[in-house]
Chains A and B, each alone.
Chain A
Amino acid sequence: MEYNNYMKLEFESKSHNEAFARVVVAAFAAQLDPTIEEITDIKTSVSEAVTNAIIHGYEDKIGLITIVAVIRGKEIEIDVSDNGKGIENVIKAMEPLYTSKPELERSGIGFTVMETFMNVVKVYSTVGEGTRIRMIKRIQNQNTEIR
């Protein structure tokens, strides 16, 4: 596959790593010369996806989370994957305000936030194997393409 740049990051599903993950992806995306607004869109969405993996995928047991990001032209594609329990009903999980864990004061809008701030959000999940969230952000505010 053709791409202009590639990164891979693997870390334990500890909540400490939420900030680490979003900062790393934001720093990688910076080469696309995004606006602060666009960088925050990416940070917020990565934070949501990683939090989902920690809370729902691994249910606070320790597993590994992998982030692969690829820059193609003016877009960045970000895959956040876990090998956790998977999502039984992806359509239900993506419904605004639906949460399987209301007792944790979760609001159920993680996917809605990702869909609002990114151009494309896709969820691939197999029960017992894990979940991969793919997000694509097109960076508007740029004059030069990365070569």
Chain B
Amino acid sequence: MKLLNEVIGNKLIVTMSGELDHHVAKSIRIEVDELILKKRTKNLIFDMSQLKFMDSSGIGVILGRYKNITNIGGKVAVVNVSDRVDRIFSMTGLYKVINKYENMSTALKHL
């Protein structure tokens, strides 16, 4: 699992590359939280296009960051979500609090 990050305006873009399971969840959490503090951006976009595998551990990673970001008044979005990951996200009602966009340009426009 590798994280790439980029800042565009007040948005932090985190691209998750590889396999997201319980084993890597903890370090990913810490890494993203550190990025949020360091980059001082308000909003967070997760780009899922490079994700090769995800189990339900991924939900905790996203919802946990959602809590932290809403504390500072920001928003969280996910983009490029595969059908499978979409099914797992839907099961938890993740989309009640997090917006999904088809691609990055749409997300950047709306967030």
Which A residues form the contact surface with B (CB < 8 A)? 15-16, 18-19, 37, 40, 43-44, 47-48, 51, 54-55, 96-97, 104-107, 109-110, 112-113, 116
Contacts and interface: CB of A to CB of B under 8 A. Distances in A.
27 contacts: A15-B22, A16-B23, A18-B21, A19-B19, A40-B84, A44-B84, A44-B88, A47-B53, A47-B55, A48-B55, A48-B56, A51-B21, A51-B22, A51-B57, A55-B22, A96-B92, A105-B63, A106-B60, A107-B56, A107-B60, A109-B56, A109-B59, A109-B88, A109-B91, A113-B55, A113-B91, A116-B87
> At the interface, is chain A mostly helix, strand, loop or mixed?
helix
B80 to A, nearest CB: 17
A19 B56 contact: no
Contacts of A15: 21-23
Nearest to B61: A105
Interface string B70-87: 000000000000001001
Contacts of A110: 55-56
Contacts of A37: 84
Nearest to B52: A40
Nearest to A107: B59
B59 A54 contact: no
Given A15-B23, A18-B21, A18-B23, A107 B92 contact: yes
B29 interface: yes
A51 to B, nearest CB: 4
